[in-house]
Amino acid sequence: MSFTSSFVITNSFPWDLTLRRFFTGLLSRNFSILSILQRVLSRDSHHPMTGRSHSKKRKPQMIVHNVEEGQYTEDKAALEELLKLRSLPESIEKHMAIVQMVADDYFSWNKLKEHLLSNPSDFGTQLRICENALRGNPKSYQPWHHRKFMMERFQKQREKHLGREDFLTKLLLDSDPRNFHCWNYRMLFLRTRTGRDLFNYSYLHHCSGSEDPLSIIYTDPLDPTCWEYFYIWRERRRMRHGVYIRRYSKHLEIRFEEPFWGKLVFEGGGVERMVSSEFATKIVMIGESVETLGKYRVALNGKEVDLGPEKEDFGFLHEVLEAESRCHGALLALLDYVDEETERASIIERIATLDPARRSYYSTLHGRFYCVYIPGSGE
């Protein structure tokens, strides 16, 4: 049995693995696989990959931050092991060992992809390689990208391992519910969430369309996450016809749901402008603001769209502020509906008082009011 085969079979976690056993004894850095690697190497006192004895086994230690230079003994030893691996002759076993030490090694992961395309029978082995890499760094991009590549390219094998994927993703989300890599992977292949977690940004990203934003806001208006549900819901509502206009004091923005290119003709307030876009874009800007009490008309590659003023009820914001006068999220949202500069200045000062660290940013919100025009009769 090869070194890598022995390493993978011995150290991959079993079906009945608990969360504690998954992470126990591992370092919290990319080199966390070192302690396992040393135990495997020590079983063969003259292993061909190292060429020397490993009689002394060091106890794994957690890295302590803010220590003096020269005390990072675990990192130093891991780097030495890594350099030895890189000096070995080219082989797939070498790259399998490297990615389990350094999960972000793009070159070695690409070597594994090339090998798997020529040797599909190694599918199970490479799944376990990914699992070992994730033990050291559950938020590393490359192990997740490699696992996604495997599941997309080898659909027959994927069906046999979906139960395993369900177990792995639940295990990792139990450890860190906001691991967005794990969330994305699970929703892509399993299409099921592990539970309802409203104030989790990963849940928000995947499940916001099925939630009522106002119900969430009234649940806990002081949590900034709940206001993200409102902004996403509002933007989807404005974009439901694929296009809308934002009119600022000195310019217009025509926003698209899908990238647009070609000829755009704008009419409104007695003004007509033509814009040609050679490259796909989601925002076309017109360098002047054209005020109108009626509608704008936009012709997109010959197809005309009429846009009228948006009518939106934002009275709930005042209700929230009556109950929670220091609600940062409600004050920020209210700015989108107040155009009178004196009143805007008062709201901005209240926001800056609640969050003084970002006072400079809030000062840029003066004069940033915009009106919204959507397709239809201002519905």
Please list the helix, strand and coil fractions of the chain in percent, rounded to the nearest 5, in that order: 50, 15, 35
pLDDT recorded at residue 22:
53
pLDDT at 72: 55
pLDDT in tens, the chain (379 residues): 444 444 444 444 444 454 444 554 343 333 334 443 444 344 434 444 434 444 444 444 444 444 455 555 667 777 888 888 888 899 999 999 999 988 999 999 999 999 999 999 999 999 999 999 998 889 999 999 999 999 999 988 998 899 989 999 999 998 888 899 999 999 888 888 777 777 787 888 777 778 899 999 999 999 999 999 999 999 999 999 999 999 998 899 999 999 999 999 988 877 788 888 888 899 999 887 777 757 888 999 889 999 999 988 889 999 999 999 999 999 999 999 999 999 999 999 999 999 999 999 999 999 899 999 999 754 4
| DSSP SS3 for 336 | coil
115 Cβ neighbours under 8 A, 6+ residues apart? 92, 95, 122
Calpha distance 14→143 (Å, rounded) = 19
Residues 262, 301 contacting (CB under 8 angstroms):
yes
Structure confidence at residue 106 (pLDDT): 92
CA–CA distance, 181 with 175 (Å, rounded to integer)? 13
Domain boundary assignment for the chain: 3-189, 201-235, 240-379
Closest CA to 344 of 322, 370, 325: 370
Helix axis angle for 141-153 and 180-189, nearest 10°, is 10
Q: Rounded distance, CA 347 to CA 335, Å?
A: 7
CA angle 164/201/129 to nearest 5° reads: 30
- pLDDT of 247 reads 92
What is the Cβ-side half-sphere exposure of residue 107, based on CA atoms within 13 angstroms?
6
CA gap 178, 197 in Å, rounded = 10
Q: What is the pLDDT of residue 210?
A: 80
Residue 245 near residue 370, CB atoms below 8 Å: no
pLDDT recorded at residue 125 = 93
Which residue has tokens 């070159």?
107
Q: What's the whole-model pTM score? A: 0.65
